[in-house]
Amino acid sequence: MAPPDPPPLDLAGIGFDRAGRTIIGAISLRVERDQRWVVLGPNGCGKTTLVRIAALMEHPTRGTVTVLGEQLGHTDVRVLRRRIGWASAALARQLRPDLTATDVVMTARHAALEPWWHRYDDHDRRRAADCLGAMGLDGFGERTFGTLSSGEQQRTLLARTMMNEPAVVLLDEPGAGLDLAGREHLVDALDHLAAGVPFVLVTHHVDEIPGSATHALVMRDGAALAQGPIDEVVDDEHLSAAFGLPLRVERDGGRFSVRARR
C-alpha cells in the first residue's frame, strides 16, 4: 500500500525570537487537504509572524516547517514558494500601482513582483484572466492596480494566489482597510476559493470568517490558547481569553458575530 500523501502544510513546534524577545513560543499547526483554517487573536499576538513562517518568508528560531513533504532548510524555497498562494497587505504595498491586474496575477507564476524579471506567454495571460474571472473581476485585466478599489485590489491578490494551482493558500488579514461592501465581497471570494484548495486565513475580526472555514487557531501573546474544529474553538470562552474582554460569540447562517457582554 502506498503511503498517504503528506499534508500541504505542517508546522511542528514553531518558535520565533527577535531582538531578545519571544514572538512565538511553541505552536504546531497541521493543515490537511480538506481543511480551511482561521487564525484569530489580538494585534501583536504573533499571527502574522506565524503565517509568514508558513509562507517561507521567515525562518523559525525553533521547530520545523514542512510544505508538501519538503522541509524548510532542506529544499529550494524559490521553487517551493510557487506552490504556496500568498496574499498580504505587505505584498500589496510592494506592487507597483501602474502594474495591470493581469501582471499582478501572472507574476505569481515565478513568485515575482515584476513581469520583466521572467518571460510569460499567452497561456500565462489566459490563466491570469481565468483567475481574475473566478474572483468576479472579468474585464479588469488591463486596469492598473493603483486605480482599483481596496476591495478590487484584495480580490486581485486572491486571484494571484490561484495562478499556480497552489497546494495551500495563506492570507494575512486580507480584509484590512475594506469597507462593509468590500468585506462581504471578500468573504464570498474566500468561499469560492475554498472549493478547490485548503487555506489559512489570519484575522482579528470574526465577521471576516467565511462559512467554509473548518478549523481555527486562537492565539494570545505568542501562544495557542485553543485549536481544532471551528465550532469548538470560536466561542465565548476562548475569544474572551484571547482579547481580554468578556465577549459573546454567535453564529447565524454559517457566519460569526461577536459583541461585548454587558
Query: Over the chain, what is the mean pLDDT?
Result: 90
Amino acid at 136: G
Name the DSSP class of 93.
H
Specify if 159 maps to a domain: no
Let me know if residue 154 belongs to a domain.
no
Per residue in 118-147, pLDDT (tens digit) is 889 999 999 999 999 988 899 999 999 999
Contact 248, 240 (CB under 8 A): no
Rg (CA), the chain: 18
CATH number at residue 239: 3.40.50.300
The Cα 256–Cα 83 span in angstroms is: 30
**The predicted structure's pLDDT at residue 5:** 81
> What pLDDT does residue 1 have?
63
How far is it between the farthest Cα atoms of the chain? 59
What pLDDT score does 192 carry? 78
Indicate whether 54 belongs to any domain.
yes
| Domain assignment present for 177 | yes
* E-state strands within the chain: 9-18, 21-31, 36-40, 62-67, 70-71, 84-88, 168-172, 199-203, 215-220, 223-229, 247-252, 255-260
Look at residue 42 in the predicted model and tell me its pLDDT: 93
Residue 221 covered by a domain = yes
Any domain includes 157: no
Q: Which three cell numbers stand for residue 29?
A: 499547526
End-to-end CA separation in angstroms for the chain: 57
With 0-12 / 13-18 / 19 or more C-beta atoms within 10 angstroms meaning exposed / middle / buried, residue 1 is: exposed
Q: What is the DSSP letter of 232?
A: H
Average pLDDT (5-22) is 93
For residues 97 and 212, what is the distance between their CA atoms, to the nearest angstrom? 32
Q: State yes or no: pLDDT of 262 exceeds 80.
A: no
Distance of alpha carbon 159 from alpha carbon 131, whole angstroms: 5
- pLDDT of 97 above 90: yes
| Inside any domain, residue 205 | yes
pLDDT bin (cut points 50, 70, 90) of residue 165 is confident
Report the C-alpha gap between 139 and 83 in whole angstroms: 27
Range of the domain at 78: 9-92+167-260
What pTM value is reported for the model?
0.90
Report CA-CA distances (Å) from 169 to 64, 143, 244. 19, 25, 30
Domain annotation covers residue 57: yes
Residue type, 262: R
| Per-residue pLDDT reduced to its tens digit, 31-57 | 999 999 999 999 999 999 999 999 998
CA distance 100 to 119: 16
184-242 pLDDT, tens digit per residue, is: 888 888 887 767 789 999 998 899 999 999 999 999 999 999 999 999 999 999 999 99
For the chain, how many structural domains are there in total? 1
Nearest partner of 183 among 216, 149, 144, 213, judged by Cα: 149
Stretch 70-96: mean pLDDT: 86
> What percent of the chain lies above the pLDDT cut of 70?
98
